[in-house]
């Protein structure tokens, strides 16, 4: 067995010896180190049939704009090439009703087996449901994103990192194993394969909102691996200290790659574990494994992950007590978006988000908490924070984002703190606190409007 069956959710398992196997790639956009692709190849080998990879592209994907599409398309172009080297065809289906087109495609071309990759977000789970509704196919969902599969490690919303950590750590030796190699497909499959007209695809996407693409990091698997090795060589030994210094470049910058699936967290963990044991190595693995997989757990088991209703009961009760609290500053959405508040540190963070497409992790907490402090209600704060994060962050529209925001504004996975106005018992962060922890002047200089 190449792929651990505990990684796989069997939705429908008709026995079929003919027809093709399709891997419907979505969250895990890579050819190397991809358990869903490996599982699809394993099935195709067993059935002695062909494997192909299909990507369903939604030109009006929720909250995606040209910044995201630029990164996505360049990554997909590299995937097409890498798959051709393995003799595995790559099909791109573009439509705003992707699952309808996907169903037509598999019916027309005699596909009998579909493998999907796992994504806990609501609309992606609806795609899984739509695939389940297609008659006469087998359908498998493979968690290729988490090291320990999300559905397997826990069957409920975890209280926090402390409850999930022990479950993950117990299973890690069984799951954190080296990947087998994807082998080249022997027969050249031609049915239902048509060349991808990338120019046409780009034209189709050009109507999306014009947020400028990012050029300080390159998309794709190769660039992701270069970034990983650079980080390990230069930054990992200092991660424990530098990660809390937004004025320095001490984080890995892997989140856009992890979000688009250009690199697997599993590979990142394997490479990191080759380094000497240190507090920095432990701190990085805590973020990469425990915090990241906790976010998937929350979104998978709490369908209200981006709503106030999804916050813990103690926070919802507490928030009611503070609805009428006086807000010294109240900003409109366009003022926040333009980064023109009274707070130069916050404005710098917003500027970093808008121009770089990635805000430093420490600043994300401060940034979100201040939006709660400066808006008229917790609902408005949550909605606007998600809007800004998803619009400008290259790694936005991700479970980590919804949970990071829910942690900052709604106390999710956190404990109750000493009560104060507006925040109630949700943890507060202040300008002076930041000033005492890092060189805020330098951060502001690095991220000031030209």
Ligand X SMILES: Cc1cc2nc3c(=O)[nH]c(=O)nc-3n(C[C@H](O)[C@H](O)[C@H](O)COP(=O)(O)OP(=O)(O)OC[C@H]3O[C@@H](n4cnc5c(N)ncnc54)[C@H](O)[C@@H]3O)c2cc1C
**Residue recorded with tokens 């808008």:** 354
User: Which is closer to ligand X, CB of 66 or CB of 408?
Assistant: 408
Exactly one of 245, 292, 351, 425 binds ligand X (CB under 6 A); which one?
292
Stretch in the footprint of ligand X (CB under 6 A) among 36-44, 100-108, 374-382, 405-413: 405-413
Shortest reach from residue 105's CB to ligand X, in Å: 31
Please give the Cα distance from 114 to 99 (Å, whole number).
12
**Binding positions for ligand X, 316-335, rule CB under 6 A:** none
Distances (CA, A) of 270 to 165, 186, 257, 292, 390: 18, 30, 16, 16, 29
Exactly one of 42, 65, 297, 408 binds ligand X (CB under 6 A); which one?
408
> In this structure, what are the phi and psi dihedrals at residue 54, rounded to the nearest 5 degrees?
-120, 135
Stretch in the footprint of ligand X (CB under 6 A) among 53-61, 146-154, 288-296, 310-318: 288-296
Exactly one of 43, 142, 295, 440 binds ligand X (CB under 6 A); which one?
295
What secondary structure does DSSP assign to 31-99, as a single string?
SSS-HHHHHHHHHHHHHT--EEEEEEE-TT-TT--HHHHHHHHHHHHHHHHHHHHTT--EEEEE-SSHH
Q: Should residue 361 be labelled a site residue for ligand X when binding is judged by CB under 6 A?
A: yes
User: Which is closer to ligand X, CB of 95 or CB of 343?
Assistant: 343
User: Which is closer to ligand X, CB of 292 or CB of 356?
Assistant: 292
Q: How many residues bind ligand X (CB under 6 A)?
A: 28
Stretch in the footprint of ligand X (CB under 6 A) among 75-83, 291-299, 321-329, 418-426: 291-299
- Beta bridge partners, 12, equal 139
Identify the CA nearest to 168 among candidates 288, 29, 333, 334.
288
How many CB atoms lie under 10 A from the CB of residue 188? Answer: 10
User: Which is closer to ligand X, CB of 40 or CB of 258?
Assistant: 258
**Binding positions for ligand X, 218-277, rule CB under 6 A:** 243, 251-255, 258-259
> In this structure, what are the phi and psi dihedrals at residue 20, rounded to the nearest 5 degrees?
-90, 165
Q: Which tokens sit at 436?
A: 């005492």
Stretch in the footprint of ligand X (CB under 6 A) among 82-90, 164-172, 347-355, 394-402: 394-402
Q: Should residue 29 be labelled a site residue for ligand X when binding is judged by CB under 6 A?
A: no
Q: Torsion over CA of 153, 159, 165 and 167, rounded to 10 degrees?
A: -30
User: Which is closer to ligand X, CB of 19 or CB of 401?
Assistant: 401
Q: Should residue 348 be labelled a site residue for ligand X when binding is judged by CB under 6 A?
A: no
Shortest reach from residue 216's CB to ligand X, in Å: 13
Stretch in the footprint of ligand X (CB under 6 A) among 147-155, 176-184, 287-295, 439-447: 287-295
Please give the Cα distance from 78 to 260 (Å, whole number).
13
Stretch in the footprint of ligand X (CB under 6 A) among 46-54, 300-308, 399-407, 428-436: 399-407
Please give the Cα distance from 38 to 26 (Å, whole number).
15
Exactly one of 99, 263, 349, 405 binds ligand X (CB under 6 A); which one?
405
Q: Should residue 368 be labelled a site residue for ligand X when binding is judged by CB under 6 A?
A: yes
User: Which is closer to ligand X, CB of 255 or CB of 350?
Assistant: 255
Residue 424 is given by DSSP the state: B
Which residues contact ligand X (rule: CB under 6 A)?
A: 243, 251-255, 258-259, 287-288, 291-292, 295, 361, 364-365, 368, 389, 393, 395-396, 398, 400-401, 404-405, 407-408
């Amino acid at each position: 067995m190449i792929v651990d069956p505990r990684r796989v959710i069997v939705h429908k398992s008709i026995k079929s010896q003919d027809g093709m196997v399709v891997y419907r790639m979505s969250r895990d956009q890579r050819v190397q180190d991809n358990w869903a692709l490996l599982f699809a190849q394993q099935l195709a080998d067993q059935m002695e049939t062909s494997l192909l990879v299909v990507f369903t592209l939604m030109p009006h994907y929720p909250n995606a704009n040209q910044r995201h599409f630029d990164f996505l398309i360049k990554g997909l172009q590299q995937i097409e090439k890498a798959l051709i080297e393995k003799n595995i065809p790559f099909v791109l289906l573009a439509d705003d009703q992707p699952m309808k087109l996907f169903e037509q495609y598999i019916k027309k071309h005699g596909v009998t087996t579909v493998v999907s990759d796992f994504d806990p977000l609501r609309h992606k789970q609806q795609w899984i449901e739509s695939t389940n509704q297609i008659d006469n196919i087998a359908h498998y969902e493979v968690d290729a994103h988490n090291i320990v599969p999300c559905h397997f490690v826990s069957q409920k919303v975890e209280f926090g990192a402390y409850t999930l950590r022990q479950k993950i750590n117990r299973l890690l030796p069984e799951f954190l194993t080296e990947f087998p190699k994807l082998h080249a497909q022997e027969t050249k499959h031609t049915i239902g394969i048509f060349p991808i007209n990338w120019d046409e695809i780009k034209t189709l996407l050009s109507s999306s909102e014009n947020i400028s693409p990012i050029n300080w990091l390159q998309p794709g698997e190769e660039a992701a691996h270069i970034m990983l090795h650079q980080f390990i060589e230069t930054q990992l030994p200092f991660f424990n200290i530098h990660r809390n210094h937004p004025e320095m470049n001490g984080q890995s910058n892997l989140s856009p790659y992890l979000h688009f699936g250009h690199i697997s967290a599993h590979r990142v963990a394997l490479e990191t574990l080759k380094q000497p044991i240190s507090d920095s190595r432990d701190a990085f693995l805590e973020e990469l494994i425990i915090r990241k997989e906790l976010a998937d757990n929350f979104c998978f088991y709490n369908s209200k992950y981006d709503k106030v209703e999804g916050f813990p009961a103690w926070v919802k009760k507490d928030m009611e007590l503070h609805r009428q609290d006086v807000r010294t500053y109240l900003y409109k959405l366009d003022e926040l978006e333009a980064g023109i508040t009274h707070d130069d540190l916050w404005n710098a963070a917003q500027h970093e988000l808008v121009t770089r497409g990635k805000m430093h992790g420490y600043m994300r907490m401060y940034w979100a908490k201040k939006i709660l402090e400066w808006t008229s209600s917790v609902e408005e704060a949550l909605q606007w924070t998600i809007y800004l994060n998803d619009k400008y962050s290259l790694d936005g529209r991700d479970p980590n984002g919804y949970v990071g925001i829910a942690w900052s504004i709604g106390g999710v996975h956190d404990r109750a703190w000493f009560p104060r106005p507006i925040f109630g018992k949700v943890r507060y962060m202040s300008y002076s606190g930041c000033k005492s922890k890092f060189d805020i002047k330098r951060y502001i200089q690095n991220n000031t409007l030209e």
